[in-house]
Structure 1
Amino acid sequence: MTLKIGSVELPNPVILAPMAGVSDLPFRLLCREQGAGLVCMEMVSAKAIAYHNKNTEKLMETREQERPVSLQLFGSEPDLMAEIAAQIEERPFDILDINMGCPVPKIVGNGEGSALMKNPRLIEEIITKVSRAIKKPLTVKFRKGFDDDHVNAVEIAKIAEASGAAAVAIHGRTREQYYSGKADWEIIRQVKEAVSIPVIGNGDVDSPEKVRALLDATGCDGVMIGRAARGNPWIFHRVSEYLKTGKLPDKPSREEIKAMMLRHARMQVEHKGDYTGIREMRKHISWYTTGLPGSAKLRGRINSVESLEEMEALLREM
Structure 2
Amino acid sequence: MQKIKVKDLELEGNIFLAPTAGYSDRPFRQICTDFGSVLNFSEMVSCEAIIRDNPKTLQLMEPANNEKHTAIQIFTGNPDSAAKSIKSVLKFNPSIIDLNCGCPVPKILKSGSGSDLMKTPKKINEIVRAICNETDIPVSIKIRSGFTHESINFLECANEGILGGASMVSLHPRTRSQGYSGFANWDYIKELKSMVDVPVIGSGDLYTPYDAKRMLEETNCDGVMFARGIFGNPFLFAQTIELLTTGEIKTQPTLTDKMEIAFKHLKLSVEFYGEDVALKEIKKHLCSYTKGFPGAKETRDKLVRCSTLEEYETVFQSLL
TM-score by length of 2: 0.97
Q: In structure 1, what is the Cα distance between the partners aligned to 2:64 and 2:318?
A: 32
Q: Which amino acid aligns with 2:20?
A: M
Equivalent-residue separation in structure 2 for 1:86 and 1:271 (angstroms): 24
Give how far 1:78 is off.
Answer: 0.5
> For 1:130-209, what aligned pairs fall within 5 Å after superposition?
130-209=131-210
Alpha-carbon contact 1:11-1:37 (below 8 Å) kept: yes
Which residue does 1:76 correspond to in 2?
77
Amino acid at match of 1:42: E
1:4 paired residue number: 5
Which residues of 2 match residues 214-293 of structure 1 at below 5 A?
214-293=215-294
Q: Give the match for residue 124 of structure 2.
A: 123
Cα deviation per residue 1:132-179 (whole Å; 9 max; x = unaligned)?
221110000010111100000011111111211010000010011111
2:223 corresponds to which letter in structure 1? Answer: G
Q: Is the 8 A contact 2:46 2:75 kept in 1?
A: yes
What CA distance in whole angstroms lies between the structure 2 residues aligned with 1:293 and 1:140?
41
TM-superposed CA distance for 1:316, in Å, is: 2.4
Kindly state the Cα deviation for residue 242 of structure 1 after the two structures are TM-superposed: 1.0
Structure 1, residues 186-223: CA drift from partner, whole Å, max 9, x if none? 01111111100000000001111111110111110010
1:115-143 superposed Cα distances (whole Å, 9 cap, x missing partner):
11001111111111211221110000010
Question: Could you tell which deviates more after superposition, 174-183 or 61-70?
Answer: 61-70
Structure 1, unaligned runs of 5 or more: none
Deviates more, 1:291-300 or 1:207-216: 291-300
Larger mean Cα displacement after TM superposition, 27-36 or 52-61:
52-61
Q: What SS does the aligned partner of 1:66 have?
A: coil
TM-score, structure 1 normalization: 0.97
Structure 2 residue aligned with 1:91: 92
Match of 1:38 in 2: 39
Deviation at 1:304, TM superposition (A): 2.3
Q: 1:39 touches 1:67 (CA, 8 Å); kept in 2?
A: no
Q: Which residue of 1 aligns with 2:300?
A: 299
Q: Which residue of 2 aligns with 1:100?
A: 101
Q: Determine the C-alpha separation between the residues in 2 that align with 1:171 and 1:274.
A: 35
SS in 1 for 2:10: strand
Matched residue of 1:317: which SS? helix
Report the alpha carbon displacement of residue 251 of structure 1 after superposing the two structures with TM. 2.2
Distance 1:230 1:62 in 2: 19
Listed as ranges, the gaps of 5+ residues in structure 2 are: none
Structure 1 window deviating more from structure 2 (107-116 vs 291-300): it is 291-300
Query: Secondary structure at 1:182's aligned position in 2?
Result: coil
Aligned residue type for 2:302: R
Give distance in 1, aligned partners of 2:297 and 2:277. 23
Equivalent pairs, count: 318
| Shift, 1:302, TM fit | 2.1
- For each residue in 1:97-123, what CA deviation from the matched residue of structure 2 results, as whole angstroms up to 9, or x when unmatched? 000111111101221101110011111
Asked if the contact 1:148/1:174 (under 8 Å) is kept, the reply is: yes
Secondary structure of the equivalent of 1:176? coil
How many Å separate the matches in 1 of 2:102 and 2:237?
Answer: 23
* Aligned residues of 1:275 and 1:306 also touching (Cα < 8 A): no
Letter in 1 for 2:289: Y
Counterpart of 2:318? 317
Amino acid at match of 1:213: R
* Pair 1:47-2:66 in alignment: no
Amino acid at match of 2:197: S
* Offset of residue 64 of structure 1: 4.3
Match of 1:111 in 2: 112
- The aligned amino acid for 1:237 is A
Amino acid at match of 1:279: K
1:107 and 1:168 map into 2 onto residues whose CA distance is 20
Alignment correspondent of 1:15 = 16
Amino acid at match of 1:250: T
Provide the aligned C-alpha RMSD in A. Answer: 1.2
CA contact (8 A) 1:67 1:93 kept: no
Q: CA deviation at 1:246?
A: 1.1
**Alpha-carbon shift at residue 88 of structure 1 (Å):** 2.5
Q: Is the 8 A contact 2:101 2:114 kept in 1?
A: yes
- Secondary structure at 2:5 match in 1: strand
1: distance between equivalents of 2:147 and 2:60? 27
Q: 1:140 is matched by which residue type in structure 2?
A: I
Q: Letter of the aligned partner of 2:308 in structure 1?
A: S
